Protein backbone atom coordinates (compact mmCIF):
# COMPACT_ATOMS: atom_id res chain seq x y z
CA UNK A 1 0.00 0.00 0.00
CA UNK A 2 1.83 3.10 -1.27
CA UNK A 3 -0.52 5.72 0.26
CA UNK A 4 -0.11 9.17 -1.32
CA UNK A 5 2.61 9.41 -3.96
CA UNK A 6 3.96 12.69 -5.28
CA UNK A 7 6.31 13.27 -8.19
CA UNK A 8 8.76 14.81 -8.75
CA UNK A 9 10.50 15.27 -5.37
CA UNK A 10 12.55 18.22 -6.56
CA UNK A 11 12.27 20.58 -9.51
CA UNK A 12 13.86 23.80 -10.65
CA UNK A 13 11.90 25.97 -13.08
CA UNK A 14 12.76 29.11 -14.94
CA UNK A 15 10.40 32.07 -14.71
CA UNK A 16 7.56 31.65 -17.18
CA UNK A 17 7.87 27.88 -17.53
CA UNK A 18 4.97 25.55 -16.78
CA UNK A 19 4.82 22.19 -15.07
CA UNK A 20 2.49 19.66 -13.54
CA UNK A 21 2.97 18.20 -10.06
CA UNK A 22 1.61 14.69 -9.93
CA UNK A 23 -0.30 13.20 -7.00
CA UNK A 24 -1.89 9.79 -6.80
CA UNK A 25 -3.39 7.81 -3.93
CA UNK A 26 -4.34 4.15 -3.73
CA UNK A 27 -6.62 4.32 -0.68
CA UNK A 28 -9.84 5.13 -2.57
CA UNK A 29 -10.16 8.42 -0.71
CA UNK A 30 -12.73 10.90 -1.98
CA UNK A 31 -11.09 14.02 -0.60
CA UNK A 32 -7.77 15.30 -1.94
CA UNK A 33 -5.91 18.52 -1.22
CA UNK A 34 -2.95 20.55 -2.41
CA UNK A 35 -1.03 22.66 0.09
CA UNK A 36 2.02 24.84 -0.23
CA UNK A 37 4.48 25.44 2.57
CA UNK A 38 6.84 28.38 2.29
CA UNK A 39 10.12 28.20 4.26
CA UNK A 40 9.43 28.40 7.99
CA UNK A 41 5.74 28.90 7.39
CA UNK A 42 2.49 27.00 7.70
CA UNK A 43 0.42 25.04 5.23
CA UNK A 44 -1.75 27.05 2.86
CA UNK A 45 -4.57 25.34 0.97
CA UNK A 46 -4.33 25.85 -2.80
CA UNK A 47 -7.11 23.65 -4.18
CA UNK A 48 -9.12 20.70 -3.01
CA UNK A 49 -11.45 18.08 -4.43
CA UNK A 50 -14.31 16.14 -2.88
CA UNK A 51 -14.45 13.55 -5.63
CA UNK A 52 -13.82 12.85 -9.28
CA UNK A 53 -14.94 15.77 -11.42
CA UNK A 54 -15.30 18.19 -8.49
CA UNK A 55 -12.69 20.76 -7.50
CA UNK A 56 -12.73 24.00 -5.53
CA UNK A 57 -10.40 26.85 -4.64
CA UNK A 58 -8.64 27.08 -1.32
CA UNK A 59 -6.87 30.03 0.32
CA UNK A 60 -4.20 30.70 -2.35
CA UNK A 61 -5.38 29.42 -5.77
CA UNK A 62 -3.95 32.14 -8.03
CA UNK A 63 -1.40 30.84 -10.54
CA UNK A 64 -2.52 27.23 -10.21
CA UNK A 65 -5.03 24.86 -11.78
CA UNK A 66 -6.18 21.37 -10.90
CA UNK A 67 -8.23 18.57 -12.36
CA UNK A 68 -9.71 15.39 -10.91
CA UNK A 69 -10.65 12.99 -13.66
CA UNK A 70 -10.26 9.90 -11.46
CA UNK A 71 -10.52 9.15 -7.75
CA UNK A 72 -6.81 8.29 -7.63
CA UNK A 73 -5.19 11.28 -9.36
CA UNK A 74 -5.14 14.98 -8.50
CA UNK A 75 -2.49 16.84 -10.53
CA UNK A 76 -1.55 20.46 -9.84
CA UNK A 77 -0.68 22.63 -12.82
CA UNK A 78 1.55 25.71 -12.60
CA UNK A 79 1.25 28.04 -15.56
CA UNK A 80 3.84 30.80 -16.10
CA UNK A 81 5.90 30.01 -13.01
CA UNK A 82 6.94 32.96 -10.83
CA UNK A 83 9.54 33.23 -8.02
CA UNK A 84 6.66 33.62 -5.54
CA UNK A 85 5.73 30.02 -6.27
CA UNK A 86 8.99 28.73 -4.82
CA UNK A 87 7.76 26.47 -2.06
CA UNK A 88 7.28 22.89 -0.90
CA UNK A 89 4.06 21.43 -2.21
CA UNK A 90 2.19 18.72 -0.33
CA UNK A 91 -0.63 16.64 -1.66
CA UNK A 92 -2.94 15.00 0.88
CA UNK A 93 -6.00 12.77 0.89
CA UNK A 94 -8.70 11.89 3.37
CA UNK A 95 -11.43 9.28 3.50
CA UNK A 96 -13.63 11.79 5.30
CA UNK A 97 -16.39 10.02 7.05
CA UNK A 98 -18.03 12.50 9.39
CA UNK A 99 -17.62 11.50 12.99
CA UNK A 100 -15.33 8.57 12.30
CA UNK A 101 -12.45 9.35 9.98
CA UNK A 102 -11.15 12.75 8.98
CA UNK A 103 -7.40 12.04 9.12
CA UNK A 104 -5.22 13.58 6.41
CA UNK A 105 -2.64 11.41 4.72
CA UNK A 106 0.21 13.44 3.24
CA UNK A 107 2.53 12.74 0.36
CA UNK A 108 6.28 13.26 0.81
CA UNK A 109 6.23 16.67 -0.86
CA UNK A 110 7.68 18.36 -3.95
CA UNK A 111 10.34 21.01 -3.44
CA UNK A 112 9.99 23.57 -6.23
CA UNK A 113 12.33 26.45 -6.96
CA UNK A 114 11.52 29.10 -9.57
CA UNK A 115 14.57 31.08 -10.67
CA UNK B 1 -14.57 31.11 6.14
CA UNK B 2 -12.54 29.36 8.78
CA UNK B 3 -9.62 31.17 10.37
CA UNK B 4 -7.16 29.44 12.67
CA UNK B 5 -4.66 31.27 14.87
CA UNK B 6 -1.83 29.44 16.60
CA UNK B 7 0.50 30.60 19.39
CA UNK B 8 3.35 30.74 20.11
CA UNK B 9 5.26 30.61 16.84
CA UNK B 10 8.37 29.30 18.60
CA UNK B 11 8.77 27.58 21.95
CA UNK B 12 11.91 26.41 23.72
CA UNK B 13 11.71 24.17 26.78
CA UNK B 14 14.18 22.19 28.83
CA UNK B 15 14.07 18.45 28.49
CA UNK B 16 11.57 17.04 30.96
CA UNK B 17 9.47 20.21 31.13
CA UNK B 18 6.00 20.60 29.67
CA UNK B 19 5.03 22.43 26.48
CA UNK B 20 1.67 23.97 25.65
CA UNK B 21 0.54 25.22 22.25
CA UNK B 22 -2.76 27.01 21.75
CA UNK B 23 -5.07 27.48 18.78
CA UNK B 24 -8.24 29.47 18.27
CA UNK B 25 -10.72 28.99 15.46
CA UNK B 26 -13.57 31.05 14.06
CA UNK B 27 -16.10 28.63 12.55
CA UNK B 28 -18.49 27.49 15.24
CA UNK B 29 -19.50 24.55 13.02
CA UNK B 30 -16.03 22.99 13.29
CA UNK B 31 -16.31 19.69 15.15
CA UNK B 32 -12.96 17.98 14.72
CA UNK B 33 -9.57 19.29 15.86
CA UNK B 34 -6.36 17.49 14.90
CA UNK B 35 -2.73 18.18 15.68
CA UNK B 36 0.04 17.35 13.23
CA UNK B 37 3.77 17.05 13.85
CA UNK B 38 6.27 17.83 11.13
CA UNK B 39 9.90 16.90 11.58
CA UNK B 40 12.52 18.69 9.53
CA UNK B 41 12.25 17.76 5.86
CA UNK B 42 9.38 15.35 6.47
CA UNK B 43 5.67 15.32 5.80
CA UNK B 44 3.16 16.28 8.54
CA UNK B 45 1.89 13.34 10.61
CA UNK B 46 -1.22 13.21 12.77
CA UNK B 47 -0.34 12.82 16.46
CA UNK B 48 -3.64 13.35 18.21
CA UNK B 49 -7.13 14.61 17.51
CA UNK B 50 -10.28 15.47 19.43
CA UNK B 51 -13.94 15.71 18.56
CA UNK B 52 -16.29 18.41 19.74
CA UNK B 53 -18.24 16.11 22.02
CA UNK B 54 -15.32 15.69 24.46
CA UNK B 55 -13.25 18.19 26.38
CA UNK B 56 -9.96 16.34 26.71
CA UNK B 57 -8.10 13.42 25.19
CA UNK B 58 -4.79 11.87 26.24
CA UNK B 59 -2.31 9.58 24.55
CA UNK B 60 0.71 8.84 26.74
CA UNK B 61 2.68 12.11 27.03
CA UNK B 62 0.45 14.18 24.78
CA UNK B 63 -3.01 15.54 25.43
CA UNK B 64 -5.43 17.89 23.73
CA UNK B 65 -8.05 20.03 25.45
CA UNK B 66 -10.99 21.74 23.80
CA UNK B 67 -13.11 24.69 24.91
CA UNK B 68 -15.92 25.03 22.37
CA UNK B 69 -17.45 28.04 24.08
CA UNK B 70 -14.23 30.01 23.75
CA UNK B 71 -13.37 28.35 20.41
CA UNK B 72 -9.90 27.30 21.41
CA UNK B 73 -8.00 24.06 21.81
CA UNK B 74 -4.54 23.28 23.12
CA UNK B 75 -1.83 20.66 22.75
CA UNK B 76 -0.02 19.63 25.91
CA UNK B 77 3.23 17.66 25.86
CA UNK B 78 4.57 16.48 29.21
CA UNK B 79 8.06 15.20 30.07
CA UNK B 80 9.40 16.57 26.80
CA UNK B 81 12.22 14.72 25.05
CA UNK B 82 14.64 15.84 22.31
CA UNK B 83 12.70 13.83 19.74
CA UNK B 84 9.70 16.06 20.42
CA UNK B 85 11.55 18.87 18.66
CA UNK B 86 9.54 19.62 15.50
CA UNK B 87 6.95 21.97 14.08
CA UNK B 88 3.43 21.39 15.34
CA UNK B 89 0.31 22.42 13.42
CA UNK B 90 -3.27 22.59 14.57
CA UNK B 91 -6.16 22.45 12.13
CA UNK B 92 -9.86 23.19 12.29
CA UNK B 93 -11.55 21.59 9.32
CA UNK B 94 -14.69 23.31 8.17
CA UNK B 95 -17.69 21.65 6.61
CA UNK B 96 -19.37 24.26 4.45
CA UNK B 97 -21.53 24.18 1.32
CA UNK B 98 -21.35 20.41 1.22
CA UNK B 99 -17.57 20.26 1.18
CA UNK B 100 -14.99 19.60 3.84
CA UNK B 101 -11.65 21.39 3.94
CA UNK B 102 -8.76 21.67 6.35
CA UNK B 103 -7.38 25.05 7.36
CA UNK B 104 -4.13 24.87 9.31
CA UNK B 105 -2.66 27.15 11.92
CA UNK B 106 0.65 28.86 11.21
CA UNK B 107 2.69 26.32 13.17
CA UNK B 108 4.79 26.27 16.35
CA UNK B 109 8.46 25.37 16.22
CA UNK B 110 9.22 23.46 19.43
CA UNK B 111 12.81 23.06 20.55
CA UNK B 112 13.55 20.74 23.43
CA UNK B 113 16.89 21.59 24.97
CA UNK B 114 18.90 18.71 26.38
Distance of residue B17 Cα from the nearest chain A Cα, in angstroms: 25
Band the pLDDT of B96: cuts 50, 70, 90: low
Is B83 in a helix, a strand, or coil? helix
CA separation for the pair B42, A17 (Å, rounded): 27
Q: Is B79 exposed, middle or buried (0-12, 13-18, 19+ CB in 10 A)?
A: exposed
B27 contacts in chain A (CB < 8 Å):
none
List pLDDT tens digits, range A12-65.
Answer: 999 999 999 999 999 999 999 999 999 878 899 999 998 999 999 988 999 999
pLDDT band, very low/low/confident/very high, at A1 (cuts 50, 70, 90): low
Distance CA A67, CA A74 (A): 6
> Which chain A residue shows the shortest CA-CA distance from B102?
A45
Dihedral of CA atoms A65, B106, A30, B65 in degrees, nearest 10, equals -170
Q: Does A2 touch chain B (CB under 8 A)?
A: no
Q: Quote the mean pLDDT of chain B.
A: 91
pLDDT confidence bin for B27, thresholds 50/70/90? confident
Do residues B54 and B62 lie in contact, with contact meaning Cβ atoms separated by under 8 Å? no
Which of B102, B105, B107 is nearest residue A104 as measured by Cβ atoms? B102
B5 contacts chain A (CB < 8 A)? no
Residues of B within 8 A of A58 (CB-CB) are 101
Amino acid sequence: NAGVTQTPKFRILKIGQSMTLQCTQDMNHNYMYWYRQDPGMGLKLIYYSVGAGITDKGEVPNGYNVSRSTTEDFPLRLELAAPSQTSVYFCASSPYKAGTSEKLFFGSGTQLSVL
Amino acid sequence: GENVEQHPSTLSVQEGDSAVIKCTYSDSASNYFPWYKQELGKRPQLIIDIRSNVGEKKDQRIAVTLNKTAKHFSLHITETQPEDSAVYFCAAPAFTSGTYKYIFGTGTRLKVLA
